[in-house]
Chains A and B, each alone.
Chain A
Amino acid sequence: MARQLKWQLGTVVEIRQETPNVKSLILDVPDWTTHLAGQHVDVRLTSEDGYQAQRSYSIGSPPEDTYLMLTVERIEDGEVSPYLVEELRAGDQIELRGPIGGYFVWDARDGKNDGSPLFLVAAGSGIVPLMAMIRHRANWENRVPTKLLYSSRSYEDVIYREELHEMSANDSSLRVIHTLTRQQPPNWISYRRRIDRAMLADTAWPQVEKPLAFTCGPTAVVEKVATELLELGYEPERIKTERFGPTGG
């Protein structure tokens, strides 16, 4: 029998405003063992009258970091995310357990991956588990050719924008391609529409390079990306998907 994932207390060390709707919670979780890039945790909130609510959040930090980072988008009519984004302060504690999910993961260490190029496709806060992979890859100085196609509503809504920019500037094997679907700054030269077949055909590694694809975002986007990658000849078992809807909030 496997050991149970115990509820643990994490203390908020820092809260980082990523975009108008998104914050990163930097948590000190003393009993945290380790995780794989791409995994998530369950967060549990308890009110004074004993009412509890649980939701899952992707881990944004790589396994090597001292602290655990959860990046949370505020869902308009959500129950847990408005608390995490608006109420929580440094010094507060939350209960969590994990890591959870052993399929949507990528390991940068030698011998733990097959060296195939990575094609990462994110929409909105779907970037979070992919960012854990990108950071993990950088920490290990792994240089598998990696492309991130990242769809956001506007420039201000791009989560981890500066960090992604710096990482790709310092690593010629990492390319970050943005598309801004609703609003673009003046002189924006990259894509300005939702992810579609033509965009994927332009950006995805050719199938002959045996790429490994991870895509995370709202259901409709992930369905679209996975279907189009199949059309481009990607093998179904090499397209890994993680979907969330507004109910994930």
Chain B
Amino acid sequence: MAETFISRGFKGRARETDRAIKERIPPGQYETKDFPVLSAGPTPRTSLERWDFSIYGEIAEDLKWTWDEFRKLPRETVTVDIHCVTKWSKLGTVWAGVSVDTLLESINLEAQPVIGNVIAFCDGGYTTNLPLADIRGGKAWVVDEYDGSPLAPEHGGPVRLLVPHLYFWKSAKWVRGFKLVREDRAGFWESVGYHNYGDPWKEQRYAGD
């Protein structure tokens, strides 16, 4: 049915003809130049004096960075396309922060192959779950700058997770750390009907997709 239905009289907006750009937009998405904001509740505001980033779970020793310590870690600037499950994609966004590989560096993860998943936790109680493999190997960052400026609170500042190869809700705002776990467990949006993994190229928007 879905293959044959045509919306009478629908022409759509003038189509992007640049193949290079077209190929960067996943199915069902459209390009936006704005930066829309989506979140379930109020924007949390945590003072930088009280802020820290921690990694705990099934590892020998918990890790924790204060804001000053975090800011002294080796930094990377990345330019990536981002895709929100609400259909907008934004191309060529520029972020700066710390690679998750850098944060995980001191943990001998190869010695603990049972740890397969991570739960990112945030101010405001938000959580999101990801396979550990999806935040390693240069695929994820903890960022505190967007477009050359400190990340605004409504966009997740002081820091958010950036996992551009998954739908953007996985790039949790206001992230405060990772819990490394064996078993996968649904996070906030994942437990209210959104897809557990969220690959935009497979259009995994909702549970069952």
Set of chain A residues within 8 Å of B42, measured between Cβ atoms: 226-227, 229-230, 236, 239, 241
Per the bound structure, the CA–CA distance linking A46 and B27 in Å amounts to: 13
Known: A95-B2, A101-B193. 7 other contacts (CB 8 A): A9-B5, A46-B5, A51-B12, A92-B7, A92-B8, A223-B37, A226-B41
Contact A5–B206 (Cβ < 8 Å): yes
A7 on the B face (CB < 8 A) = yes
In B76-94, the 8 Å CB interface with A consists of 86-88
Contact A47–B6 (Cβ < 8 Å): yes
| Interface size of B in residues (CB-CB distance below 8 Å) | 41
Set of chain A residues within 8 Å of B201, measured between Cβ atoms: none
| Nearest opposing residue in chain A for B8, CB measure | A92
Contact B206–A100 (Cβ < 8 Å): yes
Main secondary structure of the interface of A (DSSP, over half): mixed
Per the bound structure, the CA–CA distance linking A12 and B42 in Å amounts to: 36
Contact B9–A83 (Cβ < 8 Å): yes
B20 on the A face (CB < 8 A) = no
| Nearest opposing residue in chain B for A241, CB measure | B41
Which B residues form the contact surface with A (CB < 8 A)? Answer: 1-2, 5-13, 15, 28, 30, 32, 34, 36-44, 86-88, 124-125, 154, 188-189, 191-193, 205-209
* 15 sample A-B contacts, Cβ–Cβ < 8 Å, listed by A number: A1-B208, A2-B193, A4-B206, A5-B206, A7-B2, A45-B10, A46-B5, A46-B7, A46-B10, A93-B7, A95-B5, A104-B40, A244-B36, A247-B32, A248-B36
Q: Are A240 and B43 CB-contacts (below 8 A) given A46-B7, A51-B12?
A: no
| Nearest opposing residue in chain A for B32, CB measure | A247
Stretch at the interface among A16-24, A53-61, A174-182: A53-61
Main secondary structure of the interface of B (DSSP, over half): loop
Q: How far does the Cβ of B27 sit from chain A's closest Cβ, in whole Å?
A: 8
Contact A54–B12 (Cβ < 8 Å): no
Per the bound structure, the CA–CA distance linking A101 and B41 in Å amounts to: 14
Set of chain A residues within 8 Å of B7, measured between Cβ atoms: 45-47, 83, 92-95
Q: Which of B6, B8, B12, B206 contacts A79 (CB 8 A)?
A: B12
In A85-102, the 8 Å CB interface with B consists of 87, 92-95, 100-102
Q: Are A46 and B6 CB-contacts (below 8 A) given A9-B1, A226-B42, A245-B36?
A: yes
Set of chain B residues within 8 Å of A229, measured between Cβ atoms: 42
Q: How far does the Cβ of A197 sit from chain B's closest Cβ, in whole Å?
A: 14
Set of chain B residues within 8 Å of A4, measured between Cβ atoms: 206, 208-209
Q: How far does the Cβ of A244 sit from chain B's closest Cβ, in whole Å?
A: 8
Set of chain B residues within 8 Å of A142, measured between Cβ atoms: none
Per the bound structure, the CA–CA distance linking A55 and B6 in Å amounts to: 16
Contact A47–B44 (Cβ < 8 Å): no
Q: How far does the Cβ of B25 sit from chain A's closest Cβ, in whole Å?
A: 11
Set of chain A residues within 8 Å of B192, measured between Cβ atoms: 101-103
A246 on the B face (CB < 8 A) = yes
Contact B154–A219 (Cβ < 8 Å): yes
| Interface size of A in residues (CB-CB distance below 8 Å) | 48
Q: How far does the Cβ of A187 sit from chain B's closest Cβ, in whole Å?
A: 36
A3 on the B face (CB < 8 A) = yes
Contact B6–A7 (Cβ < 8 Å): no
Q: Are A56 and B87 CB-contacts (below 8 A) given A45-B12, A47-B7, A79-B12?
A: yes
Contact A240–B12 (Cβ < 8 Å): no
A243 on the B face (CB < 8 A) = yes
A190 on the B face (CB < 8 A) = no
A110 on the B face (CB < 8 A) = no
Map CB proximity to B onto A214-247 as digits: 1 under 8 Å, 0 otherwise: 0000010001001101100000110111011111
In A151-204, the 8 Å CB interface with B consists of none
A209 on the B face (CB < 8 A) = no
Set of chain A residues within 8 Å of B86, measured between Cβ atoms: 56, 248
